[in-house]
Amino acid sequence: MMRFHLRLIFCFAITSLPFTLQAQVCQHDDTTFRCVKVLKNYDGDTLTVNIPNVPALIGKNISVRVSGIDTPEVKTKNGCEKEAGKIARNLVASTLRNAKTVELHNVQRDKYFRILADVIVDGRSLKEILLKNNLAYTYDGGTKKHPDWCKVLRQPANH
């Protein structure tokens, strides 16, 4: 009988180990959320996410903007900007599609009270991916630049 109980305890310990490890990996702090689940990306710099282990009011279906950049708009009358916006959106979607980990670092609120964060996908900065592909420009929240997206689309990416 004792042997049966030991086996039962061993099986329970082994089966609960992944949950214990995930709980440790998904620990958040004041400015970092781990194990984020991306639901969709609206464009190149706006995602909708679920953040585990936080109340639903602040962790479910939350809009997040990528910090430090602006990407071309997908809803605009400017044809080149719209095309660049779709390319940026598709690049982000493909980057996120097979991601093993997504984390939000340096989380804060922007001037419209949206979540603003450095989005890290499998250890790589989403901001840097977009900048290297000429699909974003640096933006500090002030006056927006209005690049000539037709010209930008003709330039090779900085892989």
Cα gap 92→131, rounded to integer Å: 12
Kindly tell me the burial class for residue 59, based on how many C-beta atoms sit within 10 Å of its own C-beta (0-12, 13-18, 19 or more). middle
> Mean pLDDT, to the nearest integer, of 105-113?
90
Q: Residues 93-104: pLDDT tens digits?
A: 999 999 999 999
Please tell me the distance from the alpha carbon of residue 124 to that of residue 43, in angstroms, as a whole number.
18
Q: Is 7 known to be catalytic?
A: no
Distance CA 27, CA 129 (A): 26
Answer yes or no: 65 catalytic: yes
Strands 62-66 and 115-121: parallel
Residue-wise pLDDT for 30-87, tens only, equals 899 999 999 999 999 999 999 999 999 989 999 999 999 999 999 999 999 999 999 9
Total-model pTM: 0.81
Domains of the chain by residue range: 27-154
- 89, 103, 109, 114: the active-site residue: 114
Report the distance separating Cα 122 and Cα 129, nearest Å: 12
Phi, psi of 66 (to 5 degrees): -70, 125
> Tokens for 101?
């980990």
CATH number of 27-154: 2.40.50.90
Select which of 3, 7, 73, 109 is catalytic: 73
Answer yes or no: 97 catalytic. no
Question: Exactly one of 65, 81, 89, 103 is catalytic; which is it?
Answer: 65
